[in-house]
Amino acid sequence: MNANARQVATYLQKSKCTVILTGAGMSTESGIPDFRSENGLWHGRDPMTIATPEALETDYETFFNFYLARLEALDEASPHKGHQILAKWEENGFTHHVATQNVDGFHRQAGQQHISELHGSIQAIRCHDCNMKASDEKFRSKGACSACGGRLRPDIVLFGEMLPQQEWERSIEMISEAELVLVIGTSLQVAPVSQLPNLTPGQKVWINQEAPEREEWFDLTIQGKAGEILTEIDQMLSQPES
Ligand code: NAD
Ligand code: ZN
């Protein structure tokens, strides 16, 4: 029995408002690499030089290929057991909000209702110039905006862009009221989301594969894979204490 997983189950049972904050590590068990991984998608390039408005404007070819590859990777992937467990916890009243940095839509696909997609959604396409919505097919075929001829892009937050205001404010509101915040699969290196855990008056738990660098911020940390640890906590929620 993992004593820390048991402790999280106890926290969940006691908390009247629980918020989940997820990052790229929540999706690696679905086969989507996180950002620090050596794995293929970036072709050895620094995504910080691609995922920016400047890159979109000066080198659309590279920008386009990078996001097309990410969209195509998602065609082959789906939410894993950890996403399903989080959606079930919401349905059962254990959790009340998910704030995610992920743009893959897996929480929604798993049935989660209360979500702030803080970095947008890669499946939503819009014109970079006039914001008009466009279809995924139009983007994939490298089409232009039908209203203004502008360049199409996923409706995600690129480095240097503002976070969607409503989603951001909702997350702050929920985290400020939370009695428990579970931070899952994020290196917490990208501001302003990295500041969110510090806004809660409640207990903070960090579930991450790598040893957390900011361990002192947390009441409890569990090192390991999100899907496996959530499964373990879920089992304890349905078992009486031994
Ligand atoms: P990250 O890659 O910085 O951190 C992911 C963390 O998850 C790592 O600490 C890793 O140890 C952990 N992890 C990996 N697999 C795990 C698993 N199965 N279970 C538990 N933990 C696991 O990702 P991040 O913190 O989400 O990055 C923050 C944001 O930075 C991203 O949401 C993104 O918006 C932005 N970013 C974007 C790009 C881009 O290409 N657009 C590139 C870099 C960062
Ligand atoms: Zn346009």
pLDDT tens sequence across 216-228: 889 999 999 999 9
The residue whose CA has the least distance to atom 22 of ligand 1 is 25
How many CB atoms sit inside 10 A of residue 221's CB? 18
**Ligand 1 pocket residue status of 189, Cβ below 6 Å:** yes
Q: Which residues pair with 182 in a beta bridge?
A: 20, 205
Q: Which of 231, 197, 187 is nearest to 83 (CA)?
A: 231
pLDDT digits (tens, 9 = 90+) for 104-146: 999 999 999 999 999 999 999 999 999 999 999 999 999 999 9
- R_g (Cα) of the chain, nearest Å: 19
**Ligand 1 pocket residue status of 29, Cβ below 6 Å:** yes
Highest average pLDDT, of 36-50, 148-162, 199-213, comes from: 148-162
Give pLDDT, residue 34.
81
**Ligand 1 pocket residue status of 104, Cβ below 6 Å:** no
pTM of this structure: 0.94
Give pLDDT, residue 48.
77
Burial environment of residue 160 by CB neighbours within 10 A (0 to 12, 13 to 18, 19 or more): exposed
Mean pLDDT of the 155-173 span: 97
pLDDT digits (tens, 9 = 90+) for 166-196: 999 999 999 999 999 999 999 898 889 999 9
Q: Where are the domains of the chain?
A: 1-32+79-119+164-242, 34-76+124-156
Which of 208, 223, 228, 232 to mutate for ligand 1's pocket (most ligand atoms within 8 Å of CB)?
Answer: 208
Long-range contacts of 164-168 (CB under 8 A, 24+ apart): 164/117, 164/118, 164/120, 167/99, 167/116, 167/117, 167/118, 168/116, 168/118, 168/192
Mean pLDDT of the 160-164 span: 95
Burial environment of residue 43 by CB neighbours within 10 A (0 to 12, 13 to 18, 19 or more): exposed
pLDDT at 40 over 50: no
Pairing, β 18-22 against β 97-100: parallel
SS3 category, 144? strand
**Ligand 1 pocket residue status of 82, Cβ below 6 Å:** no
The residue whose CA has the least distance to atom 23 of ligand 1 is 24
Give pLDDT, residue 56.
97
pLDDT digits (tens, 9 = 90+) for 51-107: 999 999 999 999 999 999 999 999 999 999 999 999 999 999 999 999 999 999 999
Name the CATH superfamily, with its identifier, for domain 34-76+124-156.
SIR2/SIRT2 'Small Domain' (3.30.1600.10)
pLDDT at 42 over 90: no
pLDDT at 163 over 50: yes
The residue whose CA has the least distance to atom 43 of ligand 1 is 35
Residue with tokens 């501001």: 191
Q: Which CATH architecture has domain 1-32+79-119+164-242?
A: 3-Layer(aba) Sandwich (3.40)
**Ligand 1 pocket residue status of 25, Cβ below 6 Å:** yes
**Atom from ligand 1 closest to the CA of residue 225:** 19
Cβ pair 87, 110 in contact under 8 A: yes
Q: Report the separation in Å between the CA atom of 159 and the middle of ligand 2, taken as the mean of its atom positions.
A: 21
Q: pLDDT category, 43, cuts 50, 70, 90?
A: low
Residue with tokens 């696909």: 109
119 annotated active-site:
yes
